[in-house]
Amino acid sequence: PLTKRSYLFITSFSEPQYDDVLALARRGGFDTILILQSSWSRGTGHYDINTEAFPGGLDALVRTIKRFHDDGFRAGLHFLSASIYPPDAYITPIPDPRLVKDAAATLAAPLDAAQDTVTLDAVSGVFPDTDGGYMGHGTDIWIDNEILQYQTIVSNTLTGCRRGALGTAPASHAAGAPVAHLMRAYGYHLYNMDSTLLDEVAANFARVANACDIDMVYFDGSEWLQGDHWYYNARMHKAFYDNIA
């Protein structure tokens, strides 16, 4: 029955605004209050608490959720469950090899730390022509521990490369080094749900959810995953469900 009830979705919220939100919830006749991801978390992956909104970190978020409970309201957390956002430690300063890669190649020639043109060999899959923005797959490539962002690709040559992107370090790379395209969805990177990173990310979220004793989870963005929706959506939701007490 709770799924048929309305909830108050607070998209910009900090602990000092508690009384204002409580008044809105009472005025609107809501019984559940949902907090947007960017209000409570610095980014997905490790789910570090947004200390600008909750200066006391997790203790402050726990305290706020408890106040909602004590005042007679359920409370929930919104998040983009398939995502990894920089500056999360799964990307910065060393990208985790378990991020989703949907195209692969090797370096056709050595690459120094300043070069902005990259030539690929043994290409498998599709490296996007352009970034594509919010609905694109992005132009982020992974070589060793560096992320590069290219502008265009012509005949397997990537041009206009920004070196050391997303807080990684520019470096030299040998000919034949593996190159991979890091798939993006809705502007964020994805963790590979066929790897151990799925359970790690689910456990990271559950650390917050369990500490706060939340009543609702909003799995946003889970319609665009690394493969067949019917499989990966269920796989992801089960991993989080198994970790949430």
- Evaluated on CA atoms 8, 10, 14, 19, the torsion sign reads negative
In the chain, which ranges are E strands? 8-10, 32-35, 74-80, 83-84, 101-107, 118-125, 140-143, 146-149, 152-154, 157-159, 178-182, 184-185, 188-190, 216-220
Residue 147: CB atoms within 10 A of its CB come to 25
State the pTM of this model: 0.94
- Supply the pLDDT for residue 1: 85
Q: In the chain, what is the straight-line distance between the N-terminal and C-terminal CA atoms, in Å?
A: 21
- Supply the pLDDT for residue 2: 83
Q: What is the pLDDT of residues 162-205, one digit of tens each?
A: 999 999 999 999 999 999 999 999 999 999 999 999 999 999 99
CA distance 103 to 181: 5
Average per-residue pLDDT for the chain: 96
